[in-house]
Amino acid sequence: MFKESIKNHFPFLYRLYSPISDLKELHRINKQNAYWNSIPESEYRNILTQKYEKIFGYELDWNNLTTYTEKMQWDKLYNHDPRKSTLSDKYAVRKWVEKKIGIDHLIPLLAVYDQSKDIEWNDLPNQFVLKTNKGSGDVQIIKDKNSLSLFDRRRIEKNLLFSLKKNYAFHSGFELQYMHIPPKIVAEKYMGDNIQDYKFLCFGGKPYYCWVDSDRFISHKRDIFDLEWNKCDWVQCFPSSNKEIPKPKNFDQMIDIAASLSADFAHVRVDLYNIDGDIYFGEMTFSNGSGFEFIEPHSMNEYLGSLWTIGADT
């Protein structure tokens, strides 16, 4: 609040204050990373058990994991399939997706950078998207590069730098597939406003449900559909909206693509975009909600768990 007040009312002071604030944020991130790196792997399970009990109100029985959220904890700690890291890497996954379903389903790549200071602004078009290959919520959408001041560009670079520095393996509870992803920044083509993504829950290479998120930064809603596009009455973390959400064009093709991408995995969430009938790959998510989002009713948590044979990745 204090920082925003300075920014809005005293922009020149803000420019002086900002570098100090940035150094403090980098120090905080480095300190947090050092803390997690100091913890031996033998303690991960105990910490995860305590966190699960704090959120859900009961202790995990590691010898009898039945629900979806319970099995997610096992998978995060003990499924060391190296493909999880490769396919969680928003840059490295592109080559794999191209072989699986073709380059036409990839959002065009403009550039890749190792550090935020390497961004070649003059080489990029007027509209584009920047994001890190391992972060979450760090997408920077540039709709008019020519209107950005030098200060605006540095702010964007700073936000990406913070995301690069974070160790997302520990950000939400031992999502260890992110630990060894080489950090990069990806520049992609801007595909338009309000592009909707469709998230397919897949088990054993078969999609079962698809959900649509809306109003994420206002009052997050999540509408879940079966593969016949019937709205489901169960929820994961966020309530259903009252909106009529039309079935996307070529939905059957989206199902086929999700099935192809999820083949050979006991469980993965496949995110796709559908832009006027053109289907594009979004990302592969192996730890949906880190297994810490409430699924209600509880019977649905149990049903999703029954679909997941942990340790069955091939």
What pLDDT, in 10s, does the model give residues 237-286? 999 998 899 999 899 999 999 999 999 999 999 999 999 899 999 999 99
Residue 238 is classified by DSSP as: B
Specify whether the CB–CB gap between 265 and 177 falls below 8 A: no
Q: Are strands 197-203 and 235-236 parallel, antiparallel or unpaired?
A: unpaired
Read off the amino acid at residue 289.
G
Specify whether the CB–CB gap between 201 and 286 falls below 8 A: no
| CA pair distance 183, 304, nearest whole angstrom | 33
CATH class of 195-314: alpha beta
Give the DSSP H or E segment for 18: helix 11-38
Q: Is 101 exposed, middle or buried (0-12, 13-18, 19+ CB in 10 A)?
A: middle
Read off the amino acid at residue 187.
A
Whole-prediction pTM: 0.90
| CA pair distance 283, 91, nearest whole angstrom | 10
SS3 99: helix
| CA pair distance 134, 110, nearest whole angstrom | 18
What per-residue confidence (pLDDT) applies to 8?
56
**How open is the CA angle 210-211-212, to the nearest 5 degrees?**
135
| DSSP codes of every residue in 239-284 | PPPS---PPPTTHHHHHHHHHHHHTT-SEEEEEEEEETTEEEEEEE
| CA pair distance 70, 14, nearest whole angstrom | 46
What per-residue confidence (pLDDT) applies to 314?
61
What per-residue confidence (pLDDT) applies to 16?
45
Low-confidence ranges of the chain (pLDDT < 50): 6, 10, 12-14, 16-17
| CA pair distance 69, 56, nearest whole angstrom | 10
